[in-house]
Amino acid sequence: MAASGTLAIAGDNAVPSTLSVRAALLLTLAAVAVSAVAADAQDPLAAAIASPSRTPKFTVRDQYRHPLETLRFFGVRPNQTVVEIWPGRGWYMEILAPYLREQGKYYAAIEAPDVPGAAKEAKDNAAVLRKRIADDPTHLGKVVVTELHPPQLTEICPPGTADVVLTFRNVHNWLATGDQQAHFNAFFKALKPGGVLGVVEHRAKPGTSLEEMRKSGYMDEDYIKKLAGTAGFRFDAESPINNNPKDTKDYPEGVWTLPPTLGLGDKDRAKYLAIGESDRMTLRFVKPGR
């Protein structure tokens, strides 16, 4: 009986002990999860992306453009000098300028609106961007606007002072105007030794011709790497962050068939919305010397 009683007592004690271990494990896991959320909430980059000051129609594109993961991949930190090339109407500016405001510096190297032959889009984008900056001094008041238009205008910041130069979906535009190499040369000049060039661009099928790249807006990845290498950069890494396997790259209006442009209007709109934005390469290059 004593033995049975002992076993019974041991069995009774074993159940609470197991529950205690499980409870402790659950509490630990919960604490880790809360800590992770808190850490992310305190991350100034995550906070800049989550800011209510951003334009609502811009934030809906986050699901395609992955700004947090993309900027982390490029190694952007709040105390750096960062140049964004041709920021358009400020999609990334609304994230980067507040993020860099206190400790770093943000240059918006716009498409020059006043040079001979400047496109109407360049003029419109410059006007919208400058108004956006003027209307929001709290978040954008320290933005430094420079102009880029090779060969006349190539100094996007004081030479050798940038930690990071970023270009998002722009290289196909320079291929169309024939000054693509001059742009990459300007990026190299702007960066410090050891500085990073981050490139996000619509990705063509391997071996796509120059003519087809001009027509479709999709760029061959090896061609981008060649432009950077010719300028003096060393290819460092690439990321699948902005890959989109749904993108077949064979549309009537090229890449502009897809959102956000939707070049065919309402024709097959649901189909192209379901595909989402283009398949994009995300490439990191480094200026040698450190």
What does pLDDT average to in each consecutive run of 10 residues of the chain (290 residues)? 36 39 43 40 90 96 98 98 97 98 98 90 95 96 96 96 98 96 98 98 96 98 98 98 98 97 97 98 94
Of the candidates 216, 144, 202, 150, the one whose C-alpha atom is nearest the C-alpha of residue 179 is 150
Task: Please report where in the chains the tokens 């105390």 appear, as a residue.
Answer: 79
Quick one: pLDDT at residue 39?
42
Q: Name residue 285's beta-bridge partners.
A: 197, 235
Neighbours of 80 (CB within 10 A): 19
The torsion angles phi and psi of 149, rounded to 5 degrees, stand at -160, 85
Task: Please report where in the chains the tokens 């990026």 appear, as a residue.
Answer: 187
Quick one: pLDDT at residue 223?
98
Quick one: pLDDT at residue 290?
67
Neighbours of 269 (CB within 10 A): 12
CB 107 within 8 A of CB 162: yes
CA trace torsion 144, 145, 151, 155 (10° rounding): -10
Angstrom distance (rounded) from CA 242 to CA 256: 17
pTM of structure: 0.85
Quick one: pLDDT at residue 20?
46
- For 125, residues 6+ apart whose C-beta sits below 8 A from its C-beta are 88, 89, 110, 111, 113
Exposed, middle or buried: residue 41 (CB in 10 Å: 0-12, 13-18, 19+)? exposed
- Give the strands of the sheet with 162-168, arranged side by side: 144-148, 105-111, 81-85, 162-168, 191-202, 280-286, 234-239
Quick one: pLDDT at residue 42?
78
Question: What angle separates helix 221-231 from helix 180-190, to the nearest 10 degrees?
Answer: 50
